[in-house]
Every structure is written in structure tokens, then in C-alpha cells.
């Protein structure tokens, strides 16, 4: 059915075009990081030169707890973007995600735009991606096929009820998806991560997902890129304007989901509106194991290429080291212990 495949590919192209502008930010709501301040430690004993972020993630070594969020694939432009994102991830030794692989099931015209990530990021965690709305209609073999296509170390299922509601030809039907996730967790042989795309995951929703066996929650909270905004602009009408700022601020998602760590073992990825080193530091101090960012990285790549992204992320982690020194945290576990106060 070429027409359908064209439309998915065109949609991906539109997403990239709109996300390279500032028109798709939240209008009034923020991720909420400004509500927190770091507690200064006048007697810090931290040696800044000894702070290291080396760790393991999904079976691979990483140098920084950072993920380039799932963005693209399945359209011509995506090949070049994914090539450069992969190069940046490999240089930095950080994780990188591919965008929704739904298009790859329609035909193989754009398979190379997905595969290019693993090819150029052989040593770091690569995350596959598919939508929860699509998972419902797919058997496990198809998802295993998508996992293998990108040689994924973990498979992300994105939950986007708001986007599906607004998107032209969207599929706002998620009933039964948790059962499907439970089956996939058993079949996929790699960790399954559940993520939103910018409206956030509540602690209650996270609990349901963890009970299905997912091994990671990526908050993708409100305050960064508004995916209802993206679809409203694509639809060229304002009937859904009231949903532009819909969602749970990222800082709240992280704070609440972190509390589940006392009963569940999982990787908490803090994302949604992480646009600076200080945002990233606050996400990690609130309890995220890993921070992630999407649109900011895409824009940096567009303007300054691979070296721009590498310098940006290195700069954020230099800032984090200074903040850890000033808060008296030698490592990230210490940094998660009461280093913030509400303003
Ligand atoms: C161009 C673009 C395409 C995206 N496509 C996907 C996708 O296919 N699958 C997905 O899970 N998230 C997708 N996202 C959402 C991001 O992964 C992220 O959750 C969201 O944009 C919020 O993060 P941000 O505020 O840092 O942009 C996309 C984001 C961008 C900017």
C-alpha cells in the first residue's frame, strides 16, 4: 500500500521540519526545574578531578548517563540525521535511540535510515522504538524483527495517547496494550522501556508498566517539545489548541516515579524539556539514572553538526561536575540524596 507508506514518511519529514523551529515548545507550562535550587555545601570535600560518570547501560559501557532521545527514521532526511547522531553518540560514549520503526514494516525503502545508527555507533547502547498503539496490532515476531533491524540493546515502546488523538489518521486506541507489553517483555530478550513523547508518565501509570515487567521508564514529560503543538500545526486548525500545554511537568514525573525505586529495579530516564546543563543536573538530582534530550540536540546538530552536539553534551557534564562539587556530591548516588530544595 504505497499511499500509506508515503504518508508515514511525509509525516516524519514534517516532524523534523517543525521541530527545527521554536514554534513547537510548550507555551506557558515549563518542565518545572526552576522550582528547585541546589543546596550549597560550604564545606564540600569533593575533588572535582575525581568525578567520573562511567557506567553500564543495557549491557554496554557508557561515559555519561545520557541518551539522545528517539527521534527519526523512515524518511530520506532521517538517514543523514541518524548518521550524525550516531557519530556523536559513539564519540561521547552515550546511548542513542532510533525514531519509530513503524515505517520499516511497510516496506524496506528506508531501512538504511534506521540501520545507519548501529553501523556508526557500534559500541554504545542503541534503542529501538515502536508506538504502543501499533504494538497492539503486531505479533511479537514483527517486534523482534524491528529489534534485529537496528541491533537494539533495548526496545522502547512509546505511549502517545495525546498525539494519536490529535494526529491526522491517528489511532487513539490503547485498550489491551498493557497485556501486550507483558507478553513482549517475555519475548523480546532485551529490556523493554516505556516512554511518553512529551506529556509525561505519572507514578500510577509507571506502576502499571513496571508491573508488566518493563525495565525502564522514560518520563518524556511536559515542558519541552509539545507533540500536540506539532500535530496542531500540521493540521492547520486550532480546534485542539486547548491541549497544546497538556501534560505532567518532567520534574514532577521524575520526582514521583523515583519513589517507586524502593520496590522496583528499573532505569529511570528523565526527559522532556532538558535544554541545559542545569536542567540535566536537576533531572539527575531529582532521581533520574539517565537524562535524555531530543529537540535541543536536533537543533544543535542542524546548526553546528556532530562537533556541536559533542561540545554541547561535554559542556553540560562539565557544568554537572561543578554543581556536584558545590553540593558536596562525589558521585551520582550521593547527588540524588537531598541536594535540592524547592524554591
Ligand atoms: C523530530 C523528532 C521526532 C520524534 N520522533 C519520535 C519517535 O518516533 N518516537 C518517540 O518515542 N519519540 C519521538 N520523539 C519524541 C522525543 O523522543 C522526546 O520524547 C520529546 O521530544 C520530548 O523531549 P524534548 O523536550 O527534549 O524534545 C521525537 C522528537 C523529535 C524532536
Pairwise CA distance, residues 74 & 165, whole Å: 22
Residue 7: per-residue pLDDT = 73
How far, in Å, are 201, 251, 280, 282, 343 from residue 35 at the CA level?
A: 19, 9, 14, 10, 5
Q: Which atom of ligand 1 is nearest to the CA of 225?
A: 25
- φ and ψ of 259, to 5 deg: -60, -25
For 70, half-sphere exposure in the C-beta direction (CA atoms, 13 angstrom radius) is: 32
279-326 residue pLDDT tens? 999 999 999 999 999 999 999 999 999 999 999 999 999 999 999 999
- pLDDT tens, position by position, 218-273: 999 999 999 999 999 999 989 999 999 999 999 999 999 999 999 999 999 999 99
- Strand partners for 130: 157
Confidence of residue 343 (pLDDT cuts 50, 70, 90): confident
C-alpha–C-alpha distance, residues 73 and 116, integer Å: 10
Total domains, the chain: 1
CA–CA dist 79, 150 (Å, integer): 13
In terms of residue numbers, what domain contains 66?
A: 2-342
Supply the pLDDT for residue 115. 98
CA end-to-end span of the chain? 55
Q: Determine if ligand 1 sits within 6 Å of the CB of residue 68.
A: no
Percent of the chain exceeding pLDDT 70 equals 98
Instruction: Report which ligand 1 atom has the smallest distance to the Cα of 97.
Output: 17
Q: Grid coordinates standing for 15?
A: 516532524
Ligand 1 neighbourhood includes 12 CB (under 6 angstroms): no
| pLDDT > 90? residue 3 | no
Question: How is residue 297 written as a grid cell?
Answer: 540536540
Rounded mean pLDDT, 9-22: 94
Separation of 302 CA from ligand 1 center, angstroms? Answer: 16
How many other CB atoms are there within 10 angstroms of residue 10's CB atom? Answer: 12
Question: Could you give the CA distance from residue 297 to residue 319 in angstroms, rounded to a whole number?
Answer: 17
More confident residue, 241 or 4: 241
Q: With a 6 A CB cut-off, is 199 part of the ligand 1 pocket?
A: no
Domain of residue 194, CATH code: 3.20.20.70
DSSP state of 102: G
Amino acid at each position: 500500500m504505497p499511499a500509506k507508506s508515503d504518508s508515514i514518511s511525509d509525516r516524519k519529514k514534517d516532524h523534523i521540519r517543525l521541530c527545527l523551529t521554536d514554534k513547537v515548545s510548550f507555551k506557558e507550562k515549563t518542565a518545572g526545574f526552576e522550582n528547585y535550587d541546589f543546596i550549597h555545601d560550604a564545606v564540600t570535600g569533593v575533588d572535582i578531578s575525581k568525578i567520573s560518570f562511567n557506567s553500564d547501560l543495557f549491557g554496554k559501557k557508557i561515559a555519561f548517563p545520557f541518551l539522545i532521545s528517539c527521534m527519526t527514521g523512515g524518511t530520506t532526511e532521517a538517514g543523514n540525521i541518524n548518521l550524525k547522531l550516531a557519530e556523536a553518540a559513539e564519540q561521547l560514549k552515550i546511548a542513542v535511540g532510533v525514531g519509530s520503526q513503524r515505517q520499516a514494516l511497510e516496506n524496506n525503502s528506508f531501512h538504511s535510515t534506521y540501520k545507519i545508527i548501529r553501523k556508526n555507533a557500534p559500541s554504545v547502547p542503541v534503542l529501538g522504538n515502536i508506538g504502543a498503539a501499533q504494538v497492539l496490532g503486531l505479533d511479537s515476531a514483527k517486534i523482534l524483527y524491528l529489534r534485529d533491524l537496528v541491533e537494539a540493546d533495548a526496545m522502547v515502546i512509546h505511549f502517545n495517547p495525546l498525539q494519536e488523538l490529535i494526529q491526522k489518521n491517528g489511532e487513539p486506541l490503547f485498550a489491551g496494550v498493557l497485556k501486550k507489553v507483558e507478553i513482549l517483555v517475555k519475548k523480546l530478550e532485551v529490556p523493554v522501556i516505556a516512554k511518553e513523547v512529551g506529556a509525561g508518565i505519572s507514578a500510577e501509570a509507571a506502576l502499571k508498566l513496571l508491573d508488566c515487567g518493563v525495565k525502564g521508564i522514560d518520563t518524556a514529560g511536559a515542558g519541552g517539545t509539545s507533540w500536540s503543538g506539532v500535530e496542531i500545526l500540521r493540521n492547520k486548525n486550532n480546534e485542539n489548541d486547548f491541549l497544546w500545554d497538556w501534560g505532567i511537568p518532567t520534574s514532577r514525573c521524575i520526582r514521583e516515579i523515583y519513589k517507586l525505586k524502593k520496590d522496583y529495579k528499573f532505569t529511570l530516564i528523565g526527559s522532556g524539556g532538558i535544554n541545559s546543563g542545569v536542567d540535566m543536573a536537576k533531572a539527575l538530582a531529582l532521581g533520574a539514572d539517565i537524562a535524555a534530550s531530543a529537540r535541543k540536540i536536533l537543533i544543535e546538530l542542524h546548526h553546528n553538526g556532530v562537533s556541536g552536539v559533542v561540545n554541547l553534551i561535554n559542556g553540560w557534564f562539565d557544568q554537572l561536575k561543578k554543581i556536584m562539587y558545590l553540593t558536596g556530591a562525589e558521585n551520582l548516588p550521593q547527588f540524588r540524596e537531598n541536594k535540592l530544595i524547592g524554591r
